Amino acid sequence: MTSINGDRLLADLDTLRDFGRYQTGVHRPTYTQIDMQARHWLMERMREAGLEPEIDGIGNVIGRAPGNRPKLLVGSHLETQNHAGWLDGALGVMYGLELARALPGQIDVAAWADEEGHFGTFLGSRSAVGEVSDAEIDAARNAHHGQPLREALAQAGLDGKPRTVIAPGTYAGYLEAHIEQGDDLEATGLRLGVVTSIVGIWTFRITFTGVQNHAGTTRMAIRKDAGAALVRLCSAVEHRLPTVAGPRSVWTVGRILLKPGAASIIPGGAEMLLQMRDADPDVLAAMESALHDLIAEANAAGPCSVTAECTFRSMPKVMNNGFQQALAHASAAYAPGAHQYMPSGAGHDAQILAQIMPAAMLFVPSIGGISHDIAEDTAREDIVLGCQVLAAGAAEILGT
């Protein structure tokens, strides 16, 4: 049987945690000095493990095993959200490194750049499947402070380096492990989740146009208050979407902006971001259709005008069935009765890699369901179990 070294894995994760340690969590935004130090540290560990490491022009680190045997690609990402947790991304990369040690010659390891979206959307993995153009890189800016991506890449020493594109057929498939980020496993007393599909995410920017005016001298009857129009639509969404959503659908208004945003000025403009997620594209389509109905009703009722623009649309991605079964067999072997099949409510690099090769994901529990927060954690025995199960699943897939 394929065995991993749990102590070595935990030691590596604890060392990686020091790159950007912030209280009990980690602050390691993409392309910052500390993020680049972590990437170079990983390359050293890859070399020690007998891999040939390479960092490309978008910051993807790939460690390749020598030889000509069929291989799996295993990985995740190294950078974190701002002031976030120590395991999100890091766990999956270090699992990959440990699998490369346990299955020599059969595992390549990847750390995809910017899964966390500081500068774009799945920049690293999309670049690796040939989806990112130079024009997209030219236009991209940091979501938090606006720094151009080109400038950040130059500061990170990555300008001029070519970007690596993986040809379909290079690998037998892709595996990614990740913390669950929800509380399903914990709530049901389980320790492993075999991911069936990754949800599609559709985000809409909804814009309201009214007339800006003085909040004291403009009678209620003649106002065209864009903020009031936004609240009415939000309220209607809250009532209508449940009638068309599925049992695991989620939707979120994460951002609202009133313009100009002063106590004494009737907002002349307003904007909100509405994001919907589901594993079923028909359910997503029904939710989008309901949104467009509500917007048409709002425009018919007046007095403000409303438009919606889809700013992000990823399709749900079903994980490879055979890979799922291999992960389930391994789960049953190492922790009988402790796994379940489940969808992923979060997006992951695996959904991008799945475009060019069979892919699957394994979840380990998040304590309290917390992620993107310094309190993010997973029991150490669950961390080790997850890696063992991923290694055994990989071995079954490879027929080792």
Instruction: Give the residues lining the site for a copy of itself (CB under 8 A).
Output: 180-183, 199, 201, 203, 212-220, 222, 225, 227-228, 231-232, 234-235, 238, 242, 248-258, 261-267, 273, 275, 277, 312, 344-347, 369-373
Q: Is 185 or 390 the residue whose CB approaches a copy of itself more closely? A: 185
Least separation in angstroms between residue 193's CB and a copy of itself is 11
Task: Pick the closest to residue 108 from 35, 14, 37, 173 (CA basis).
Answer: 173
Q: Is 191 or 277 the residue whose CB approaches a copy of itself more closely? A: 277
Token couple for 40: 């170079």
Q: Is 236 or 332 the residue whose CB approaches a copy of itself more closely? A: 236
Least separation in angstroms between residue 252's CB and a copy of itself is 4
Q: Is 250 or 333 the residue whose CB approaches a copy of itself more closely? A: 250
Q: Is 284 or 326 the residue whose CB approaches a copy of itself more closely? A: 284
Q: Could you tell me the CA-to-CA distances from 77 to 246, 252, 328, 337 in Å, in that order?
A: 30, 25, 24, 30
Least separation in angstroms between residue 201's CB and a copy of itself is 7
Least separation in angstroms between residue 30's CB and a copy of itself is 15
* DSSP letter, residue 106: S
Q: Is 240 or 372 the residue whose CB approaches a copy of itself more closely? A: 372
Bridge partner list, 374: none
Instruction: Name the percent of the chain in helix, strand, coil, to the closest 5.
Output: 35, 25, 40
Least separation in angstroms between residue 241's CB and a copy of itself is 9
Residues 6+ apart with CB under 8 A from 346: 178, 181, 198, 199
25-26 and 21-22: which strand pairing? Answer: antiparallel
Residue appearing with tokens 């236009």 = 139
Do 28 and 34 contact (CB within 8 A), yes or no? yes
Q: Is 242 or 281 the residue whose CB approaches a copy of itself more closely? A: 242
Q: Could you tell me the CA-to-CA distances from 175 to 73, 104, 216, 220, 336 in Å, in that order?
A: 6, 16, 60, 59, 21
Q: Is 87 or 199 the residue whose CB approaches a copy of itself more closely? A: 199
* DSSP letter, residue 345: S
Q: Is 66 or 242 the residue whose CB approaches a copy of itself more closely? A: 242
Least separation in angstroms between residue 353's CB and a copy of itself is 18
Q: Is 251 or 334 the residue whose CB approaches a copy of itself more closely? A: 251
Token couple for 287: 């939710």
Residue appearing with tokens 């991911």 = 195
- Given CA atoms 330, 335, 339, 345 in this order, what sign does their dihedral have? negative
Least separation in angstroms between residue 371's CB and a copy of itself is 6
Residue appearing with tokens 């030691």 = 11
Least separation in angstroms between residue 26's CB and a copy of itself is 17
Residues 6+ apart with CB under 8 A from 279: 196, 197, 198, 199, 200, 248, 316, 343
Q: Would you list the DSSP string of 179-237?
A: E--SSHHHHHT--EEEEEEE-EEEEEEEEEE---EETTTS-GGG---HHHHHHHHHHHH
Query: What gap in Å lies between CA 6 and CA 108, rounded to an integer?
Result: 19
Token couple for 91: 């766990």
Least separation in angstroms between residue 373's CB and a copy of itself is 7
